[in-house]
Amino acid sequence: MAADHLKEEEYKKINMARYTGPKTKISRKFGEPLFGPDKSFDKKNYPPGQHGISKRRQKKSEYAIQLMEKQKAKYLYGILERQFRNLFEKANKSKGITGEVLLQLCESRLDNLVYRMGIASTRSAARQLVSHEHIIVNGEVCNIPSRIIKIGEKVGVREKSKSLSVIENSLSARESVYEWISWDNNNLEGVFNILPTRDQIPENIKEQLIVELYSK
């Protein structure tokens, strides 16, 4: 019981952290709340270091614009540079449209699917749940957030973790399930049915800019 209490407190901190600190600064840099609803961003939705919204900013170069788009995607999905580069290389070798395949690979990560299924309220919280072994894939515990889930594989909550309030609260706040995922609320388990098409992925990312950057 004491261990469970510590876990609950740990995840409360994770959820609280989404509204404060560097994350808001990062969101201001890109002009949109990248990590979910952010009260601090709503108050100051102009770039950091700028005293008010009227100050003019220097025009960015093509390279700077492409670089910012890549950084935005990495922040959104919580992926480090080496991992992101590897995903791009994989997408570039595929038969599909490179930018779209890149986003599909990002969407196929275990941490992202835990978030999409509503098990966690943010991708950051989803990574914590996976890392602390609260998530199962095809009935087996998996603690690798970057694992690429294949079509037809099942992602669910470990039996002893189903009573965690952070999971219960996230699921109760979920409004709907994405079209490419099916969800069994009785067993707290979902199935990755099909790769999402680009128009099914809601993130505001100009993936072609990322392709152009890596293709230089």
pLDDT tens digits, 34-62: 655 555 545 555 565 555 555 556 788 99
Per-position DSSP letters for 136-186, written without gaps between them: EETTEE---TTPBPPTT-EEEE-GGGTT-HHHHHHHHH-----TTEEEETT
Q: Which residues pair with 137 in a beta bridge?
A: 140, 155
Which amino acid is residue 124, in one-letter code?
A: S
Give this prediction's pTM: 0.78
50 CB-near residues (< 8 Å, 6+ apart): 57
Q: Which of 48-57, 74-83, 116-125, 163-172 has the lowest mean pLDDT?
A: 48-57
Q: Please state the rounded mean pLDDT for residues 130-155.
A: 98
> Is 141 inside a domain boundary?
yes
- Confidence grade of residue 30 (pLDDT, cut at 50, 70, 90): low
Token pair for 95? 């038969």
20 inside domain: yes
145-178 pLDDT, tens digit each:
999 999 999 999 999 999 999 999 999 998 888 9
What's the rounded mean pLDDT across residues 58-81?
A: 92
Task: Please give the tally of structural domains in the chain.
Answer: 1
- Answer whether residue 55 is part of any domain: no
Q: Is residue 116 part of a domain?
A: yes
In a domain, 188, yes or no: yes
Per-residue pLDDT tens digits for 89-114? 999 999 999 999 999 999 999 999 99
Residue 1 pLDDT grade (very low, low, confident, very high; cuts 50, 70, 90):
very low
145: CATH: 3.10.290.10
Q: Is the pLDDT of residue 32 over 70?
A: no
Residue among 204, 174, 203 nearest 190 (CA) = 174
Helices and strands of the chain, counted as H and E runs: 10, 5
Q: 28 is in which domain, residue-wise?
A: 2-50+60-214
* 163 contact partners, CB below 8 Å, separation of at least 6: none
Q: What angle do CA 89, 92, 93 make, to 5 degrees?
A: 90
